[in-house]
Amino acid sequence: MDNAKASFYLSQFIGKPLRIHTSDGRVFGGQMKCTDKDRNIILALTYEYRSPSAEVIRKAIEASGNPSAPVNWNSRYVGLVVIPGEHVRKIEFEESAYSGHKSGMVL
């Protein structure tokens, strides 16, 4: 991808909600503010999500008897964060389009 294309592609996501999965299994959801060549990403208004521990899952299943019982993830507001590129495992774009609207984004 050449520089102009790359810049255009990335700048579409500015101010848009991204979900970033980090190497330790957490997910950060927030608005993208900034990124660079090393794929460091700055998110604003971020929430941290952490999968429940095995213990909690085990208990929930035991309690309900249903092996696919829903268990809530723990979330916490963390605000403005920078996620170093090396720890980024997966990036998801959260498109919330109202029916009939086209986001017009090149994905």
Partner 1 sequence: MDVASSSANSSRVHNDGSVYAPISLPLRQAFKQHVAKTNIHNITEKFTKACNGLDVGQLVKDEYFTLFESIGALEIMDPKMDSGFLQPGETLEDDYDPLTPLLPDELIGIMDQLLCYEMAWHTGYPLSQTLFTSLHIDRLLWPETKVFEHAQFYRGDVEEGKRPGVFLEVLRAYCLALVKGCDFVIAKVTGRDYFEEEDFCTNTYNRVLFVQVPVDVFARELDAAVDLMEDPDLDIPDALRKAITTRLDFRKSFLTALDLDLPLDNLSRYWAPILSSITTIKNTHALGTPVPSSFSTKIQRKLASTVPPRPIVDLAFADALAKLTQLCTDCEEATRFTTLPLDPLEYQAFLWTFASRDPTPLPYSRSYLSTILFDPATLNTSISLPLTDIRSLVFPSSPILDPLNWTLSPPRNPLLPKPPRLQLALLIDDFVDRAGQPYLDFWIALGQNRCRLRRMLTHVIIAWDFLQVDAALVDADLMATCQQLGVEPQVLDNPLTAWVYVKKLWMMEKVVLLGFEQDIYLPDEFAGMYYFLSVVAAKRAAELDRCEKHVGERTMQLIGASRYQDAQDVDDMGPYVDSELQQAKGVSEFAKALYRFYTILLYLGLIPHLKRPFSTEELRYELRMKPFLALQPVEVPLFAEFQAALQPYGSYSSPSSSASLQADLRDPDSALWTSIDAAIKAAKDAFARVKKYGSRKSKASGVEQAWGKEVNGLLASCVALGVGVAGVKDAVGKAEGDADSGTGALGVKVEIPKVGEGKRYAEGWVVGKVVKV
Interactions with partner 1, residue window 12-51 (CB under 8 A): 13-15, 19, 22-24, 26, 28, 33-39, 42, 44, 48, 50
Is-contact 19 94, C-beta < 8 A?
yes
Residue 57 makes contact with partner 1 by CB under 8 A: no
Distance between CA atoms of residues 67 and 28, nearest Å: 27
Residue 87 makes contact with partner 1 by CB under 8 A: yes
Out of 55, 65, 102, 104, which residue is the one contacting partner 1 (CB under 8 A)?
A: 55
Residue 10 makes contact with partner 1 by CB under 8 A: yes
Distance between CA atoms of residues 12 and 103, nearest Å: 11
